[in-house]
Amino acid sequence: MIAFVRRIVLAVTALVLLAVPALAAERAPVILVSIDGFRADYALRGLTPTLAGLAAEGAWAPDGMAPSFPVNTFPNHYTLITGLRPDHHGLTDNTVYDAARPGVKFSMGARDQVQDAFWWDGGEPVWVTAEQKGLRAFTMYWPGSEAAIHGVRPSQWFVYDEKDPAFARVDRVLAWLDLPADQRPNFMTLYFEEVDTQGHWTSPNGARLNEALGNVDAALARLVAGLKARGLYDRVNLVVVADHGMAETSPDRVVFLDDLAPIAEVTPVTLGTVSGLIARTPGAEAALVGKHPHVECWRKGELPARFHYGTHDRIPPIICLPETGWVFTSREWYARRPLTGPAGSHGYDPEDPAMRALFVAHGPAFGPGVRLPVFDNVSVYPLLMKLLGLAPRPNDGDPAATAPALR
Ligand code: AMP
Ligand code: ZN
Ligand code: ZN
């Protein structure tokens, strides 16, 4: 009898020993970090040693990820976290209108709209599925994290505050990892805007941009040091991404909408780079659609298939895309914010290398020194779901794109 019991105890122990590492690897906490506007090749400047260290020991896409169209912040952050193209998740640009909400404008600064699930319900972010399946998700900023999408918010989330110092954000994430096991999050996000901000102000080649690279890398160094101090560096899966790259603009590269069509007959929804327009007369539409010097315009249903864009009701009837480095604006809009020297912009062709975004991943799930060829950012979502052991919702990504990165 005692021998029988002992055999059962041994068998159970063996099972537990076998199961625990597998479980630990599958459910290692995941930290998703976004460095807004971190163009893929910024990592080659020698200014980001922490990122270089993560890449050396983990997986890296040296040529970056291709962002989704339109190449702006909100659509791409929502693509990263849902695996859906903006045409499918409904955050069709940074500024959005919907016929069901006449006169209401969704924009990044409209806090009440940003917090309204109406705009976000077309997708299901990782944190919603995680919470529904009994995991805990905490967000240290992410577009969408302030809204109760499908009725669910992350267990912890914050109202976005650009002035919140990067180190304070990192320290909050580290404090989460100190929580008792039954309160600790399985999935965390962390977001930094400084590289995008300086890329816009001083161009991707500006001195202040390089300073921003150093500052964000220092924040990552603080995160890595905190993980090491807790013995977690090799037990947390860290996925570091960007939403898009950055291209240099100039006062010498401006195209005016006024020169393409009768301006009084066109209502611009968005302008700058990728632009959405409403032509209020057939004449204005005919004048706009087609190729012009440095800009091309299409009816929404006629965009090139590779943009995966143009079916959603929220997309304006005409979409224009300037050549990389060119600004597309109206005389009225430009008068309010003219360029005075080199600056930076995104919102260009997603296939342009200047629009490509950072991807580095490190942790128990990732093989050392893996290098990935360019892949589409819709494939980050299936990777995150795999790391969390969750079944992905229907999405536009391909798990095969990042499979070589996994152990
Ligand atoms: P973009 O205009 O596409 O370059 O957007 C970048 C800006 O988005 C940054 O300056 C951030 O301050 C802002 N941003 C990032 N996340 C959020 C958020 N959750 N809520 C509001 N604004 C945000
Ligand atoms: Zn951005
Ligand atoms: Zn930006």
Mean pLDDT of 278-293: 98
Tell me: pLDDT of 195 over 70. yes
Which of 33, 34, 36 to mutate for ligand 1's pocket (most ligand atoms within 8 Å of CB)? 36
Tell me: pLDDT of 47 over 80. yes
| Burial of 266: CB neighbours in 10 Å, binned 0-12, 13-18, 19+ | buried
Q: Nearest C-alpha to atom 16 of ligand 1 is from which residue?
A: 143
* pLDDT band, residue 192 (cuts 50/70/90): very high
* pLDDT band, residue 24 (cuts 50/70/90): very low
Mean pLDDT of 7-32: 55
For residue range 219-239, what is the model confidence (pLDDT) as tens digits? 999 999 999 999 999 999 999
Strand partners, 30: 187, 237
Q: Which ligand has the nearest atom to the CA of 242?
A: 2
Tell me: pLDDT of 25 over 90. no
Q: Nearest C-alpha to atom 8 of ligand 1 is from which residue?
A: 73
For residue range 175-188, what is the model confidence (pLDDT) as tens digits? 999 999 999 999 99
Q: Which ligand has the nearest atom to the CA of 36?
A: 2
- Of ligand 1's atoms, which has the minimum distance to the CA of residue 146? 19
User: Would you say the CB of residue 36 lies under 6 angstroms from ligand 1?
Assistant: yes
Mean pLDDT of 364-390: 98
Report the predicted TM-score, pTM, of the whole model to 2 decimal places.
0.94
Asked if residue 327 lies in contact with residue 337, where contact means CB atoms within 8 angstroms, the answer is no
Residue 7's φ and ψ, nearest 5 degrees, are: -65, -40
Q: Amino acid identity, residue 54?
A: L
Which of 162, 201, 345 to mutate for ligand 1's pocket (most ligand atoms within 8 Å of CB)? 162
Q: Nearest C-alpha to atom 17 of ligand 1 is from which residue?
A: 143
In whole angstroms, what is the distance from residue 140 CA to residue 125 CA?
A: 15
Q: Amino acid identity, residue 49?
A: P
| Percent of the chain with pLDDT strictly greater than 70 | 94
- For 10-24, 96-110, 189-203, which range has the lowest pLDDT when averaged over its residues? 10-24
Distance from the CA of 358 to the center of ligand 3, in angstroms? 14
pLDDT on residue 27: 85
Q: Nearest C-alpha to atom 14 of ligand 1 is from which residue?
A: 108
User: Would you say the CB of residue 93 lies under 6 angstroms from ligand 1?
Assistant: no
Domains of the chain, start order:
27-246+357-405 (3.40.720.10), 251-340 (3.30.1360.180)
In whole angstroms, what is the distance from residue 31 CA to residue 19 CA?
A: 23
User: Would you say the CB of residue 347 lies under 6 angstroms from ligand 1?
Assistant: no
Is residue 129 annotated as a catalytic residue, yes or no? no
User: Would you say the CB of residue 287 lies under 6 angstroms from ligand 1?
Assistant: no
Average pLDDT, the chain: 94
Q: Dihedral sign, CA of 208, 377, 71, 166?
A: negative
Tell me: pLDDT of 275 over 60. yes
Mean pLDDT of 114-139: 98
User: Would you say the CB of residue 119 lies under 6 angstroms from ligand 1?
Assistant: no
Asked if residue 213 lies in contact with residue 48, where contact means CB atoms within 8 angstroms, the answer is yes
In whole angstroms, what is the distance from residue 355 CA to residue 346 CA?
A: 7
Calculate helix-pair angle for 207-229, 166-177, nearest 10 degrees.
20
| Percent of the chain with pLDDT strictly greater than 90 | 93
Tell me: pLDDT of 8 over 60. no
For residue range 95-121, what is the model confidence (pLDDT) as tens digits? 999 999 999 999 999 999 999 999 999
User: Would you say the CB of residue 34 lies under 6 angstroms from ligand 1?
Assistant: no
Mean pLDDT of 141-164: 98
Mean pLDDT of 384-404: 98
Mean pLDDT of 284-293: 98
Tell me: pLDDT of 33 over 50. yes
Q: Nearest C-alpha to atom 2 of ligand 1 is from which residue?
A: 73
* pLDDT band, residue 86 (cuts 50/70/90): very high
The candidate with the shortest Cα–Cα distance to 364, out of 241, 188, 237, 226, is: 237
User: Would you say the CB of residue 252 lies under 6 angstroms from ligand 1?
Assistant: no
- 333: number of Cβ within 10 Å: 16
Through-space distance between the first and last CA atoms of the chain, rounded to whole angstroms: 43
pLDDT on residue 174: 98
Q: Nearest C-alpha to atom 11 of ligand 1 is from which residue?
A: 193
Enter the tokens of residue 244.
Answer: 């898009």
Q: Amino acid identity, residue 62?
A: P
Distance from the CA of 201 to the center of ligand 3, in angstroms? 10
Q: Nearest C-alpha to atom 21 of ligand 1 is from which residue?
A: 108
In whole angstroms, what is the distance from residue 289 CA to residue 316 CA?
A: 13
pLDDT on residue 5: 43
pLDDT on residue 13: 42
| C-alpha torsion angle, residues 37, 43, 46, 50 (rounded to 10) | 90
Distance from the CA of 73 to the center of ligand 2, in angstroms? 4
Mean pLDDT of 26-31: 87
Distance from the CA of 196 to the center of ligand 2, in angstroms? 6
Considering the candidates 48, 73, 79, 82, report the single residue annotated as catalytic. 73
Higher pLDDT, 374 or 27: 374
Higher pLDDT, 249 or 9: 249
Tell me: pLDDT of 303 over 70. yes
Enter the tokens of residue 216.
Answer: 């964000």
- Of ligand 1's atoms, which has the minimum distance to the CA of residue 77? 16
For residue range 317-366, what is the model confidence (pLDDT) as tens digits? 999 999 999 999 999 999 999 999 999 999 999 999 999 999 999 999 99
